[in-house]
Chain A
Amino acid sequence: MENTLQTQEDVAEINQTTSGFQFRTPAAIQDFTDNPAKQEAMNQLWSANLDGFTQQGMLSNPWNTINTPPTTNYYNPVQNNPSSATANVLWSAFPGRLAYNYPTATQASLNQMADTGVMPAPISDNPCGDTGNSVPYFPYGPRGWQDEYCEWAVTRNAAGKITRIDFTCENPEYWNSLWLIDPNKVLALYQNILGKPQITLADLSVPNITDPITQGPVYNPLNIWNSGPVSSATQGGAIHLTSTPNTLQTEIGLATAATVQRNNADGTTSWPSSQYNALLCDAQYGQKHRNSDPNIGGTVNSFVTAANVVTLADPPGLYIQMPDFAGNNYEAPNGDDPSAYWTIVRGSETLNSQDGTKLPGNFILHAVYEVPADKDYTVSDITINGSPIEWGSQVAATFKMQIVASAYAGTKPAGYDPVADTDPADTFAQPIQLFYESYFNQVYNTSVPNPVDNPISLLSNSTFIPPTVFIGASSIQMVLICGTITYTEGEPSTYPTVSFTNSGVTATVTAVQNNIYYAVPGNSKPSENFALYLTVAVSENASAGVTGVYVINQGQVLSQAMPALLSVLPITVQAAIEWQNTGVQVEPSSLLSIAYVSGLWTANPQDNNGQLYNANGTPSNIPAKAGYTMPGQNEGSLIGKVGDTVFFVGMGTTIPSNLSGELLLCINDDLNGIYGQGFADNEGSIIVKVTSL
């Protein structure tokens, strides 16, 4: 069986909802229809992620900016979900900043730029200011310039004619979550969506590292099959968004920030649409001159000006709309219907809200425009308003994107002046992102090339999905990215301290590194940050759940925690993982017990009539053969290991004394696949608790 990180019981604890509401996956897509347990785990994980993103956005920035108060007119439906009205916000998928930055370029040139990312000139790095430096066109990355929340990859034949265009608006957070549930599902989807069975799991993985929890591969969002605007049999494709600002977390951040009312020149907080770029600059959300950001922000802001309380309608997401084939005069050879070549690969044309009301617009996540190979012509032989399709951008120009807002009547909040930096005396250390150190070291040091020859770190394509640690784990090496910290290099006593809203989690700062240069996901440009190297411990009595992180500069009082940066879970042992690391450190003097808590699994779905069982192993009582985790013990039972010492755990045991090392746990099964499929066909997981005696 494939890996399943979280069972339903596990994530129920981290998804504490007071409204009974659960965020749905984008377009309510269910990628595990073949496995209800995994689907449920995915649904729970996804809702928890969105809850966290929403909390982050609603908090705003209490650390180093002024006029960024917590929101009053944005709501988290997990906490409060009244009936509401919906409205879609629409914009063109064609990058709007191209025509703004290159006003003399012909439309043909703009079409080419939108596909290739090869730009005629640098642009200002400070669109909101009067002065700026000339820098290569940003956002950076292999599709960075496609920054309207829609990206595409074009497949051409040997003659250079377009045969297929893949358009995606799927957010990277969803695919990272999917990978956490099951990397093999991600692999299968890549192969199926792109029609490329040659894709391997290794292709999709970050080299040289494994996931500390699953021991499995780590997802690379900029893997060769989801990179750049060109797709071929050997590389490229568009599975999900990759431009650094094209994330769902930042979309929620934009929407939350846009609800804050801003004082404008006429003494009101009501902004005309002609000033939406100025509002964006005052509020510091999004990127000026996009089709999307100023319009989304301005519209959301206007809803609050009209005394509404708003949120992104469920399911939050970015959605492709149907192209208007007739209206744009698409014409295919032989009088064929050009709309027949548009296929919704993921998502749907219509979607209802959870209460059954039809939502506005289309909910397309991935669409393919492709002329079948048995036709005697290609996409390039189809014309739009008389022009042959030479670039994917010409098709992108014929459809729109949308997000959907929900709102209910409230009261209009007070206005604020423009966002600005705090005075030094009022500046606090800002927690930004938390990673496992092994992930950070590998990913941060991976440089990603792009057409404007301005490589940036792959860390720019990380996410705000919180890393997971197990209860009882210690000596966990992590890196916390921060802003505005104070310290003296080489003097640990001056380092900021790190703590957690979950008091069962503690951390020690072991080192500080400055000049951590990358685009924090959601940002369009790289910036300099700090890295705090941490050793983290989770007490065995810690509660499970998503926790916030505090960073406190020496001499300062406690500031605000950044919500949802770390996920604390009970020790969960997957049946399909060999020797799973619990993170629990065993010392020779340790006196630790392990006890089964919950969950069911099996080492052989053919056994026990397919029924899963607990840590005692199979009710059939089959002594394990040589080559099993622990020969002689019951198949399917829970086995432990510290160092080289293997011991039976079953429903509970005391760890043998005088051992040293990390506690590993494993189902008793055919480790090397000598007798059958080994761990590949295993199902389920169990939860255990480790207690000091």
Chain B
Amino acid sequence: MNLPDMTIKKMKKVWLLLILPIIFINMIPSNNKKIQQNAFVSASDSCDCYSTSSLYNIQVYFNNNVPGDLKAFNNQSQADCFAWQEFISLNWPVNASSSFGTPYDLAPVQWETYMPREVLFQDQGVKPPVWGTLVSDKYAKKFKTQRLLMNKMSTKLLTFTSKIDNSDSLNTFSADQAAPQGKPSWLGSQNGKNVWYEILLNKDYYDFVVQKGYYNATIQHDSVKAGHPINFPQGVYHSKVGAIELKAAWMEVPNPQSPQWARYKLSRATVLDPSTNQLRTTTVALVGLHILHKTTNQPTWVWATFEQVDNAPTSTTVGSPPYGYNFYNANCTAKQVTIKTATGDSVVTVSCTPNQSPPYYLSQAAPVPIQITRSNPIDPNDAAPINQRMQSNIKKVYPNSVWQYYELVDVIWSQSVQKDPTTPIDAPRKLNASSMQSGVPTVANTTLESYVQKTNTCTSCHVYSTIAPYPLDSINNDIFGDFSFAISFAKYKTTFTKPSSSNLKTPHPDLKSLKKTMKKVAIQY
């Protein structure tokens, strides 16, 4: 759902980039129980799910069983209900003693135990640690001096993506969104904090990457050179889950005991404070969640996105939520912000025009609220009535559940099956546009694509996904990466033996190419 930021850096910067841990969220389950994926841990309460026609009913179950697929995707109503089933099961508490969405429960839900992208795709393309690892040794070591409590098997590390700004200097952290590229794209909430992001991959994604060796860019390239495209595993109805990639948006919560947070999934987090460059622990509230899921019926993935209901109004929304909006203020006034620049302090204006990306980087000044509205109304035919039905159903079974305060924004799916390529193809993948379905034509999450809500829908960007760049085979750098931007984060072994003097006289063409082109591509998810 995001554009890759193809910011190019020179070789000397690579090592710094590779050790850019950004944020940690401590999520220590009360019992250090091994996570069982796909196991029922609750009674199977269920409810009907459909928009207007009961003929399209999908039975949605309240448990942690992430669905592998629908029997059939016949219409938007069914795609939306599949998304709700995903959302419920993925947000099922890991702790068997927890209930579904107990307010103020900081314990992790299922998807939060999935593997962070930075743990799966490690420096030098080394094999990732065992499933369940949330913090890599490297990251843990990096922040050891701050003596923060981190356990690599039980502390969930959420490595927020890093990028390099236009001034060619390294940001020490980034809370930027995928777009716009090349300029600031962080999001400030009404409480004056910035939103944090994370990307996670499920076990079927992990297993596939490990089994194929795709954690290493070189192996990805070897594979495509051998004629094998990278096709992630498809979920199967009532069977294996298939590849899932998630991206979450978290809002900082300085006052977690306040009654308004009974409407949010909260987690404990450790963030790198932009003003001090120091780690600090805080509480964060889930405000946005993308769920990308590859299935047999949907090899072009199911693209679902959810939000907390208090995020932002549409242009026609009447009234406001009981505690106000997270990203909108009806009485907004333009703010003058003093920022640091290379030439000294400067003053910029953050306007109240909705959905304008901020005029400065968070390295230059503290965040301020950014005015956001929902550009694309939630599909009134399917998503809106289904949200009402599902929120009501959740409330019925789990009266205080925070999940009744979340809503499906939309789902993109394909009406006809568009099969996986059988040989490696170049990005962008061509889709049959007339087959692509969604409730409204352009799908965007106000917390994840705040500034490009009208510009691109998820698939129009993700067709550009590629395998990871590898300078020794740069001709294949544009090979399609099966819609996943995460796969392009694989690294390769960069140490090589110094050539002998004889070889130096006639440099190996590959080495010559390497010296010339060895750059690090940092992709902003």
Binding site for B on A (CB under 8 A): 85-92, 94-96, 98-100, 103-104, 107, 110, 270-277, 289, 291, 294-295, 298-299, 302-303, 306, 308, 324, 327-329, 360, 397-398, 405, 407
Contacts and interface: CB of A to CB of B under 8 A. Distances in A.
A291 B435 contact: yes
Identify the 3 closest CB pairs spanning chains A and B, nearest first. A87-B53, A99-B432, A94-B434
Interface in B394-426: 415-417
A291 to B, nearest CB: 6
B56 interface: yes
Contacts of A94: 433-434
B355 to A, nearest CB: 14
Given A100-B416, A291-B435, A327-B376, 18 more contacts: A85-B54, A89-B74, A90-B75, A92-B415, A94-B434, A99-B431, A99-B432, A273-B70, A274-B298, A277-B416, A277-B417, A295-B74, A302-B74, A303-B55, A328-B442, A397-B433, A397-B434, A407-B55
B437 to A, nearest CB: 8
A405 B54 CA distance: 12
A295 B298 CA distance: 14
Contacts of B430: 99, 103-104
A96 B416 CA distance: 9
A86 B52 CA distance: 9
Given A272-B72, A291-B415, A87 B55 contact: yes
Nearest to B439: A327
Interface residues of B, number: 32
Nearest to A310: B55
B71 interface: yes
Nearest to A104: B430
A280 to B, nearest CB: 11
A397 B55 CA distance: 27
B442 A329 contact: yes
A273 B441 CA distance: 22
Contact of A273 (B53, B74, B442): B74
A37 B52 CA distance: 38
B305 to A, nearest CB: 16
B417 A274 contact: yes
A110 B432 CA distance: 10
B454 interface: yes
B198 interface: no
B237 interface: yes
B296 interface: yes
Contacts, number: 101
B69 interface: yes
A472 B454 CA distance: 69
A86 B53 CA distance: 6
A405 B74 CA distance: 13
A272 B69 contact: yes
Contacts of A407: 55
A324 B55 contact: no
Contact of B72 (A107, A273, A328, A397): A273
Interface of B: 52-56, 69-76, 237, 296-299, 376, 415-417, 430-435, 440-442, 454
B101 to A, nearest CB: 31
B443 to A, nearest CB: 10
Given A99-B433, A291-B435, A295-B74, A273 B376 contact: no
Of the candidates B56, B299, B416, the one having the most CB atoms from chain A within 10 angstroms of its own CB is B416
Given A96-B416, A302-B74, A85 B432 contact: no
Contacts of A110: 433
11 contacts: A87-B55, A87-B75, A94-B434, A272-B69, A276-B417, A277-B416, A289-B416, A291-B416, A302-B72, A324-B440, A324-B441
B441 A327 contact: yes
Of the candidates A90, A94, A327, the one having the most CB atoms from chain B within 10 angstroms of its own CB is A327
A85 B297 CA distance: 26
Contact of A398 (B53, B299, B441): B441
A270 B296 contact: no
B434 A272 contact: no
Given A104-B430, A327-B376, A272 B440 contact: no
Contact of A360 (B53, B69, B432): B53
A272 B53 contact: no
B417 A273 contact: yes
Nearest to A106: B430
A353 to B, nearest CB: 13
Contacts of B56: 87
B297 A273 contact: yes
Contacts of A397: 433-434
Given A295-B74, A327-B442, A272 B415 contact: no
Contacts of B53: 85-88, 360
A275 B417 CA distance: 8
Nearest to B70: A273
Contacts of A90: 75-76
Contacts of A295: 74, 415-416
Given A270-B71, A272-B71, A308-B55, A107 B433 contact: yes
Contacts of B299: 274
Contact of B75 (A95, A270, A299, A328): A299
B49 to A, nearest CB: 14
A328 B430 CA distance: 20
A272 B237 contact: yes
A327 B431 CA distance: 20
A565 B72 CA distance: 38
A328 B73 CA distance: 23
Contacts of B298: 274
A328 B441 contact: yes
Contacts of A405: 55
Given A92-B435, A360-B53, A272 B296 contact: yes
Of the candidates B69, B72, B297, the one having the most CB atoms from chain A within 10 angstroms of its own CB is B72
A85 B54 CA distance: 7
A294 B434 contact: no
Nearest to B413: A273
Nearest to B237: A272
Contacts of B76: 90
A375 to B, nearest CB: 25
Given A291-B416, A397-B433, A327 B440 contact: yes
Nearest to B295: A274
Given A107-B433, A327-B441, A398-B441, A298 B72 contact: yes
Nearest to B432: A99
A537 B377 CA distance: 65
B524 to A, nearest CB: 23
Nearest to A328: B441
B74 A298 contact: yes
B450 to A, nearest CB: 17
Contacts of A306: 55
Nearest to A275: B417
